[in-house]
Structure 1
Amino acid sequence: MYSKDNLIEHLKTMGIDARGTLLVHSSFKSIGEVEGGPDTVLDALIEFMKEGLLILPTHTWKYIDKDNPVFDVQESPSNVGILTEKFRKRPGTIRSEHPTHSVSALGKGAAELVQGEYKHDTPCARKSVWGKIVDLKAQVLMIGVDLTRCTFIHGIEEWVDIPGRMTDSHEALFSVLHTGEKIEVPSRRHCGLSWSHHFWKVDEVLEEEGAMSKGTFGNAESRVVDTEKTTELLTELLEQHPDLFSDNEPLEEKWRYYFQRKQSKA
Structure 2
Amino acid sequence: MYSKDDIINSIINIGVKRTDTLLVHSSMKSVGIVENGADTVLDAFMEYMKDGLLIFPTHTWAQMNDEYNIFNPETEPSCVGILSNIFRKRPNVIRSLHPTHSVAAYGSYAIEYASGEEKWDTPCPRDGCWGKLYDRRAKILFLGCSLRCNTLLHGVEEWNSIPIRLASTCQQLKIVTPEGQIINRPLHRHYNPLCDVSEHYGKMLEPFMCLGIAKKGYIGDAGSILCDAVGMADLTTLFLKRNPDLFIDNNPVPTEWYIKKY
Q: Which residue of 2 aligns with 1:109?
A: 109
Q: Which residue of 1 aligns with 2:226?
A: 224
Letter in 2 for 1:218: G
Does residue 1:183 correspond to 2:180, yes or no? no
Residue-by-residue CA offset, 1:145-170 (whole Å, 9 max, x unaligned): 01001111111111111111110111
Aligned residue for 2:145, secondary structure, equals coil
Letter in 2 for 1:39: D
Distance of 2:236 and 2:24 partners within structure 1? 20
Q: 5 Å matches for 1:32-51?
A: 32-51=32-51
Aligned residue for 1:106, secondary structure, equals strand
| TM superposition shift of 1:66 | 1.1
Distance of 1:208 and 1:257 partners within structure 2? 12
Q: Which residue of 1 aligns with 2:159?
A: 159
Using structure 1 for the length normalisation, give the TM-score.
0.96
Unaligned runs of 5+ in 1: none
Q: Which residue of 2 aligns with 1:56?
A: 56
Report the number of matched residues: 260
Q: 5 Å matches for 1:128-207?
A: 128-192=128-192, 193-207=195-209
| TM superposition shift of 1:260 | 2.5
Q: Which runs of 4+ in 1 moved over 3 A?
A: none
Aligned residue for 1:257, secondary structure, equals helix
Aligned residue for 2:234, secondary structure, equals helix
Question: Contact conserved, 2:145 with 2:224, CA < 8 A, in 1?
Answer: yes
Does residue 1:3 correspond to 2:3, yes or no? yes
Using structure 2 for the length normalisation, give the TM-score.
0.97
Aligned residue for 1:12, secondary structure, equals helix
Distance of 1:158 and 1:133 partners within structure 2? 15
Identity percentage over the alignment?
45
Q: Which residue of 2 aligns with 1:256?
A: 255
Letter in 2 for 1:152: L
| TM superposition shift of 1:232 | 1.0
Distance of 2:228 and 2:22 partners within structure 1? 10
Distance of 1:150 and 1:213 partners within structure 2? 15
Distance of 1:207 and 1:12 partners within structure 2? 19
Aligned CA RMSD, in angstroms, stands at 1.0
Aligned residue for 2:259, secondary structure, equals helix
Letter in 2 for 1:200: G
Distance of 1:228 and 1:248 partners within structure 2? 23
| TM superposition shift of 1:250 | 2.7
| TM superposition shift of 1:67 | 1.8
